[in-house]
């Protein structure tokens, strides 16, 4: 039995680790996943659910999982999607439209199906080990393995590990599980997997950070930096900047002070272009904030002007919003310097690393950090005109005046905005922004989606989600048989959907409270798993014969989480904010899993019940897009409604349990 326990923990580790690897690997090679990262997550939930439903089938597909993984990784490697580049231009942003490779309407479904197939085979292995134990014991071991998976992947993120390291971990676990006699096709698949991952790991001028695959190329005489297949920025000399990038100098041309700014904050410092421009203008000191350690390191070692080595520059590798929360320093100029990550926050369908920098509250924080006469600057390459108008309206809402606006290029809507709370602080050489009748409203921290014009789910998202639902229904029916076997576990289905929404809300809120860094994200997922484990341990030791009060407590905790505005916590000192955030966010998680554990311990078929819960989580991942319309506080109400449906669907079971 001890070896069976270890096998289940190892299988659960493998399942979560491979899921994280697929999210990271696919996202680094398929440019469309910059906007649809949770398609991989949804495919994982579908596949794992199908795998658990197949756990009672005679034919075991788990031995073929490594083959499926090698094929999926090879497919992504052979058919990547990258932004098209005109080789005669400096490829910093979207110089040329479109992407190479298969079109989006082909590649996204194929990625979704490939992930579902791989995770179904791994999930089947977990399911077969799962059913050897009592339901709660199996669930407990599964959580322990998942915690180990989060921990190992987080350590690798900290170390900026290359794909080959991920592959070696996966290969060792697969071979261990295949002992004493791994089959020949498993050896072949592992070799192919390691070869493909190794080829990407040792490409010249390719680096890996916790967020990106970073590539450095010499194009048209310039050193250009790509992230996840997108042109992102360039390493330029001051002479190159003067001749082709006026946006970096305009803030100082419009600065009306008698002397250059003494203290400048640059959020989105990148490889140091804004910092080198500031130094050339004789500023006193620069605080340069960059979220990605790999990009910052590249600027430190490869920027031809070496701004990060200048004693007048202090570098900070952290989230820009978190930096503003944790400093009392005042500045003459605060610059939001193209904080365009093109990367979604892991585990969340719509929040990007920079989303919380473009809200009204963020601009207000920047204004709060300005000295009297200080100037706020934002420059970016706006690919949709409404984004430029929205941010200009946001700046006006905070500062009370229409910002000074420079249009400086032909790359999308390339613009520089300046504003100040002090009259006469800006000698505007551009135009004063004029709002139009169609200018969209500013966005706030509860609905941080600046790139979505209206508070409705885009049609492409809706069509994609509908197609995934249809495919999921057919796939479950074909591979696992009649869906009636899950009918008695409808309450667990609703619990899965509700819990995914709780998880999504917590990831988004902790990103706001403590930063959108990979480290905060890993701590949140780890904290959620530890909370689930605590609920399981309580359920194993305490028999609560009347689950009704548990649901009532859960609804109270959800009401508190909904009622407490995010800005209240942001106003608290860091230690108090941390304690309050943990209590508010994890109390519903604990109670929800106590409800789940009390129900799950009595199920007759643990693999079918767990599959119902996982498929519910997939539906919850789709409902996550509802935050576009109702905000993240609104998701709490949706989660509460789903738990209400779980209560109603499980009322018959609850009554029989209480009677017993």
| Residue range 529-556: mean pLDDT, rounded | 89
Give pLDDT, residue 417: 95
Helix-then-strand count for the chain, H and E: 23, 12
Helix, coil or strand: residue 180: coil
CB 443 within 8 A of CB 398: no
Q: Where are the alpha helices (DSSP H) in 601-626?
A: 606-623
| Residue range 390-412: mean pLDDT, rounded | 86
- From residue 27, how far is each of 118, 167, 388 by CA, in Å? 17, 16, 27
Highest mean pLDDT among 125-134, 409-418, 537-546: 125-134
Q: Is residue 317 over pLDDT 90?
A: yes
Helix, coil or strand: residue 96: coil
Give pLDDT, residue 104: 81
What architecture is domain 1-86+96-159+163-201?
Up-down Bundle (1.20)
Which fold is adopted by the domain 243-343+360-432?
A: Rossmann fold (3.40.50)
Element (H, E) at 5: helix 2-29
Tokens of 295: 């990009």
Higher pLDDT, 220 or 137: 137
Give pLDDT, residue 485: 72
Calpha distance 39→111 (Å, rounded): 8
CB 268 within 8 A of CB 354: yes
Task: Look over the chain and give the mean of its residue pLDDT values, rounded to a whole number.
Answer: 88
Give pLDDT, residue 409: 62
Say if 1-86+96-159+163-201 and 460-660 have the same CATH topology: yes
pLDDT, tens digit (0-9, with 9 covering 90-100), for 563-609: 998 888 888 888 899 999 999 999 999 999 999 998 898 887 889 99
Assessment of whether the complete model's pTM goes beyond 0.85 = yes
pLDDT, tens digit (0-9, with 9 covering 90-100), for 466-500: 988 998 988 888 876 666 777 889 999 999 999 99
- From residue 549, how far is each of 54, 163, 545, 546, 600 by CA, in Å? 35, 48, 10, 7, 17
Calpha distance 634→260 (Å, rounded): 46
- 3-state percent helix, strand, coil for the chain, nearest multiple of 5: 60, 10, 25
| Residue range 199-226: mean pLDDT, rounded | 87
Nearest CA to 370 among 328, 401, 340, 404? 328
pLDDT, tens digit (0-9, with 9 covering 90-100), for 326-362: 999 999 999 999 887 666 555 555 677 788 999 999 9
Lowest-pLDDT range of 59-68, 212-221, 263-272, 575-584: 212-221
Highest mean pLDDT among 73-87, 360-374, 622-636: 360-374
Q: How confident is the model at residue 50 (pLDDT cuts 50, 70, 90)?
A: very high
Calpha distance 551→230 (Å, rounded): 47
| Residue range 368-383: mean pLDDT, rounded | 91
CB 66 within 8 A of CB 186: yes
Which fold is adopted by the domain 460-660?
A: Growth Hormone; Chain: A; (1.20.1250)
| Domain spans, the chain | 1-86+96-159+163-201, 243-343+360-432, 460-660
Q: Is residue 617 over pLDDT 60?
A: yes
pLDDT, tens digit (0-9, with 9 covering 90-100), for 238-276: 888 887 778 888 999 999 998 999 999 999 999 999 999
Calpha distance 141→16 (Å, rounded): 13
């Amino acid at each position: 039995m001890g070896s069976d326990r270890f096998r289940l923990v190892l299988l659960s580790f493998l399942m979560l680790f491979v899921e994280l690897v697929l999210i990271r690997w696919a996202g680094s090679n398929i440019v469309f996943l910059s906007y649809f990262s949770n398609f991989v997550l949804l495919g994982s939930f579908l596949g794992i659910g199908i795998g658990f439903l197949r756990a009672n089938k005679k034919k075991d597909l788990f031995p073929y999982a490594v083959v499926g993984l090698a094929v999926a990784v090879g497919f992504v490697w052979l058919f990547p999607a990258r932004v098209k580049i005109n080789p005669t231009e400096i490829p910093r942003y979207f110089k040329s439209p479109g992407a190479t490779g298969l079109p989006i309407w082909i590649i996204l479904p194929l990625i979704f199906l490939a992930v579902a197939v791989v995770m179904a085979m791994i999930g089947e292995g977990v399911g077969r080990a799962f059913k050897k134990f009592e339901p709660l014991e199996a669930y407990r071991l599964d959580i322990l393995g998942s915690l180990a998976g989060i921990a190992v992947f987080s350590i690798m993120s900290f170390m900026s590990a290359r794909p080959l390291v991920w592959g070696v971990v996966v290969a060792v676990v697969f071979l261990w599980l295949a002992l004493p006699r791994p089959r020949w096709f498993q050896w072949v698949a592992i070799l192919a997997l390691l070869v493909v991952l190794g080829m990407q790991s040792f490409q010249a001028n390719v680096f890996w950070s916790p967020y990106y695959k970073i590539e450095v190329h010499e194009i048209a005489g310039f050193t250009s930096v790509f992230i996840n297949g997108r042109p992102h920025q360039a390493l330029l000399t001051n002479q190159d900047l003067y001749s082709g990038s006026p946006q970096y100098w305009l803030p100082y041309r419009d600065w009306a002070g008698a002397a250059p700014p003494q203290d400048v904050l640059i959020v989105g410092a990148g490889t140091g272009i804004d910092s080198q421009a500031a130094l050339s203008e004789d500023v006193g000191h620069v605080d340069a904030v960059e979220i990605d350690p790999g990009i910052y390191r590249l600027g430190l070692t490869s920027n031809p002007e070496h701004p990060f080595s200048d004693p007048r520059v202090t570098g900070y590798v952290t989230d820009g919003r978190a930096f503003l929360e944790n400093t009392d320093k005042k500045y003459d100029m605060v610059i939001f310097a193209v904080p365009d990550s093109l990367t979604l926050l892991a585990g969340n369908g719509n929040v990007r690393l920079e989303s919380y920098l473009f809200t009204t509250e963020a601009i207000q924080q920047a204004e709060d950090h300005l000295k009297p006469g200080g100037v706020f600057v934002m420059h970016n390459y706006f690919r949709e005109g409404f984004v430029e108008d929205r941010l200009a309206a946001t700046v006006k809402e905070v500062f009370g005046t229409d910002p000074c606006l420079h249009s400086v290029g032909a790359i999308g809507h390339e613009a520089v905005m300046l504003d100040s709370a002090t009259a006469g602080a800006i000698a505007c050489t551009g135009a004063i922004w004029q709002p139009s009748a169609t200018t969209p409203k500013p966005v706030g921290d509860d609905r941080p989606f600046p790139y979505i014009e209206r508070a409705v789910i885009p049609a492409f998202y809706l069509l994609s989600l509908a197609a995934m639902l249809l495919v999921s229904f057919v796939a479950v029916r074909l591979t696992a048989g009649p869906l009636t076997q899950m009918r008695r576990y409808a309450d667990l289905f609703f619990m899965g959907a509700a819990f995914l929404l709780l998880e999504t809300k917590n990831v988004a809120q902790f990103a706001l409270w403590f930063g959108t860094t990979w480290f905060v994200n890993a701590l949140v997922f780890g904290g959620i798993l530890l909370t689930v484990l605590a609920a399981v341990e309580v359920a194993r030791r305490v028999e609560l014969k009347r689950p009704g009060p548990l649901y009532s407590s859960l609804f109270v905790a959800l009401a508190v989480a909904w009622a407490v505005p995010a800005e209240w916590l942001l106003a608290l000192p860091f230690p108090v904010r941390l304690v309050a955030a943990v209590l508010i966010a994890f109390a519903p998680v604990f109670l929800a899993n106590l409800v789940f554990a009390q129900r799950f311990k009595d199920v007759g078929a643990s693999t079918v019940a767990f599959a119902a819960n996982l498929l519910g989580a997939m539906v919850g991942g789709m409902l996550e897009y509802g935050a576009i319309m109702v905000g993240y506080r609104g998701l709490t109400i949706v989660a509460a409604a789903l738990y209400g449906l779980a209560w109603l669907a499980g009322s018959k079971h609850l009554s029989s349990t209480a009677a017993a």
